[in-house]
């Protein structure tokens, strides 16, 4: 396994207390014991793993030594390091587990990697209160609805019809969030080795769903530009685009680009997925073009209430031609026989009343976006932070170093951010990070006033000892947290030598109480 893959599997390995080599060996031991690193699996050389994790080589050497003493790994001169035990064929849980960073339980780490509202709005509780009498009155319904409850399918269909795309409930499949929709689509349309056209960068959860089916990903620029040539060159089984408030860049495709995309896909016979999960997140006054389905009924649209209402509701959907819905429903029924009906009834109640909630959030999101950009400009003027007109993330270019080492360094200060290359199937975007702007300006501003940046200490050596790495780290985090109990701030000078320059400021709103995919 290459060092980057091991790094991805390690997830938030360095966020606990104690020396780094102990944390690293403990996490590797856990991965070995859980079978994520199976017997016989070769592990990266010391230096390569150290570089991927932005730590000194001695940290990796000491961690490997602990594992060797534990008989979890074997190290032989000339044949490298591998997990102890005989090799046996084993199906991996996933080949690209970026989600490990996001779905692990809370461990005090501030999750800047996860972008979604951090609590359910009061409107959701109101919707549940309104549906209770209907729920109590249900009879003659055993509760299994693999395609979704008819009331919610109707409500979703009506919403599309109001947006100008005539839709019947038969064209709708309700899912447990958009992620389930994407993995069902991947299972229904892909066989191992099939080619999928994706944007670079894009939503990492979609990449994982396609990789799970052993698809070959072909990365094209945002908006799938170059699609025509790519379609001519190879047969593609699927194309995936985020047309509105793209994750992570926030871009919106023009009506002309939408029309062209659909026409090319129809002509080439490529099923096209339009991920609309962020399309209702425009800032006030922002007009968005029609969904791709308005330009061709064969488009398969994926939607969700995770970003407009709350991800914990787990309501998503696919709008697609009837034959595709029937195929997806068969697959879904194999896995869970259908979703949670009370949640679906609440969602159906809420859907026609979403406007005031959406408006309120749009104002708030724009203010938070402006505030974060202003703070980044003030404290990190070298960072390139283009503004967006909706969505929830900024695609930030760091002037020095790369996003992966930045993310590893930030993690050692209890802050999880998403490095750009995990979102880019072409392997580029290494100099980018994705930050979300959902923190409240009040918390950010309040804590800002209490801070004075410490000075950067010049470094004397490029290799850090274990003591140097772990000791000052906890002291620096403690110092950062002391200024404001609700805020962790990393600045130049609070970081260890060799760590990239970083200033991350967060408040409690940013911590997703539950796992979030973002």
Ligand X SMILES: Cc1ncc(COP(=O)(O)O)c(C=O)c1O
Closer residue to ligand X, CB minimum distance, 195 or 307: 307
Closer residue to ligand X, CB minimum distance, 178 or 415: 178
DSSP SS3 for 414 = coil
Closest CA to 350 of 319, 310, 390, 318: 310
Distance in Å, CB of 11 to ligand X, minimum: 18
Distance in Å, CB of 204 to ligand X, minimum: 9
Closer residue to ligand X, CB minimum distance, 7 or 518: 518
Distance in Å, CB of 17 to ligand X, minimum: 30
Beta strands in 55-184 (DSSP E): 73-76, 80-83, 110-111, 172-175
Beta-carbon contacts of residue 77 (< 8 Å; ≥ 6 apart): none
Closer residue to ligand X, CB minimum distance, 72 or 149: 149
DSSP element (H, E) containing 131: helix 122-136
**Contacts to ligand X by CB under 6 A:** 177-179, 203, 205, 242, 247, 275, 277-278, 304, 306, 311, 316, 517-518
Rounded CA separation 191/194 (Å): 6
Beta-carbon contacts of residue 176 (< 8 Å; ≥ 6 apart): 314, 315, 316, 336, 339, 340
Distance in Å, CB of 479 to ligand X, minimum: 33
Which two structure tokens, joined as six digits, stand for 224? 């799938």
Closer residue to ligand X, CB minimum distance, 177 or 271: 177
Closer residue to ligand X, CB minimum distance, 362 or 517: 517
Counting Cβ atoms within 10 Å, is residue 409 exposed (0-12), middle (13-18) or buried (19+)?
buried
Closer residue to ligand X, CB minimum distance, 195 or 204: 204
Distance in Å, CB of 415 to ligand X, minimum: 19
Beta-carbon contacts of residue 335 (< 8 Å; ≥ 6 apart): none
Distance in Å, CB of 517 to ligand X, minimum: 4
Rounded CA separation 11/1 (Å): 15
Closest CA to 190 of 208, 175, 178: 208
Closer residue to ligand X, CB minimum distance, 174 or 477: 174
Which two structure tokens, joined as six digits, stand for 144? 């299994």
Counting Cβ atoms within 10 Å, is residue 51 exposed (0-12), middle (13-18) or buried (19+)?
middle
Distance in Å, CB of 250 to ligand X, minimum: 11
Closer residue to ligand X, CB minimum distance, 208 or 402: 208
Distance in Å, CB of 185 to ligand X, minimum: 11
Rounded CA separation 195/204 (Å): 17
Distance in Å, CB of 122 to ligand X, minimum: 20
Residue whose Cβ sits closest to ligand X: 177
CB 182 within 8 A of CB 201: no
Which two structure tokens, joined as six digits, stand for 484? 């404001």
């Amino acid at each position: 396994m290459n060092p980057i893959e091991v790094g991805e599997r390690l997830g938030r390995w360095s966020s606990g207390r104690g020396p780094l080599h102990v944390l690293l060996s403990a996490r590797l031991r856990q991965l070995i014991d859980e079978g994520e690193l199976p017997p016989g699996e070769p592990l990266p050389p010391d230096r390569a793993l150290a570089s991927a994790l932005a730590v000194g080589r001695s940290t990796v050497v000491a961690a490997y030594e602990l594992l060797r003493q534990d008989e979890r790994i074997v190290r032989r001169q000339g044949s490298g390091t591998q997990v102890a035990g005989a090799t046996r064929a084993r199906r991996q849980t996933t080949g690209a587990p970026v989600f490990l960073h996001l779905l692990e339980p809370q461990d005090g780490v501030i999750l800047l990697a996860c972008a979604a509202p951090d609590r359910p709005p009061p409107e959701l509780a109101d919707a549940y209160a309104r549906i209770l009498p209907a729920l109590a009155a249900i009879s003659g319904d055993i509760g299994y609805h693999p395609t979704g409850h008819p009331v919610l399918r109707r409500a979703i269909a009506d919403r599309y019809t109001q947006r100008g795309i005539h839709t019947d409930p038969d064209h709708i499949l309700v899912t447990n969030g958009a992620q389930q929709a994407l993995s069902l689509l991947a299972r229904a349309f892909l066989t191992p080795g099939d080619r999928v056209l994706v944007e670079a960068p894009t939503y990492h959860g979609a990449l994982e769903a396609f990789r799970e089916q052993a698809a070959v990903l072909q990365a094209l620029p945002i908006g799938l530009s170059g699609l025509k040539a790519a379609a001519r060159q190879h047969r593609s089984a699927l194309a995936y685009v985020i047309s509105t408030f793209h994750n992570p860049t926030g871009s919106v495709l023009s009506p002309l680009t939408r029309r062209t995309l659909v026409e090319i896909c129809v002509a080439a016979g490529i099923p096209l997925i339009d991920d609309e999960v962020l399309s209702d997140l425009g800032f006030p006054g922002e007009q968005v073009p029609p969904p791709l389905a308005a330009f061709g009924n064969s488009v398969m649209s994926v939607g969700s209430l995770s970003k407009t209402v709350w991800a914990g509701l787990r309501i998503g959907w696919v709008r697609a031609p009837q034959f595709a819905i029937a195929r997806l429903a068969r697959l879904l029924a194999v896995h869970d026989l259908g979703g949670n009906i009370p949640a679906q009834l609440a969602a159906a109640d809420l859907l026609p009343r979403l406007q005031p909630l959406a408006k309120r959030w749009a104002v708030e999101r724009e203010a938070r976006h402006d505030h974060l950009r202003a703070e980044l400009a003030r404290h990190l003027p070298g960072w390139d932070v283009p503004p967006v007109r909706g969505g929830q993330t900024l695609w930030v270019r760091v002037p020095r170093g790369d996003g992966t080492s930045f993310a590893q360094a930030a993690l050692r200060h209890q802050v999880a951010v998403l490095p750009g290359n995990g979102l880019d199937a072409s392997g580029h975007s290494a100099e980018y990070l994705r930050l979300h702007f959902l923190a409240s300006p009040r918390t950010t501003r309040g804590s800002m006033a209490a801070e004075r940046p410490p000075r950067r200490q010049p470094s004397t050596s490029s290799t850090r000892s274990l003591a140097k790495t772990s000791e000052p780290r906890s002291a620096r985090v403690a110092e950062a947290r002391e200024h404001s109990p609700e805020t962790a701030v990393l600045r130049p000078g609070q970081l260890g030598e060799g760590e990239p320059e970083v200033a991350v400021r967060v408040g409690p709103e940013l911590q997703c109480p539950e796992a979030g995919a973002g």
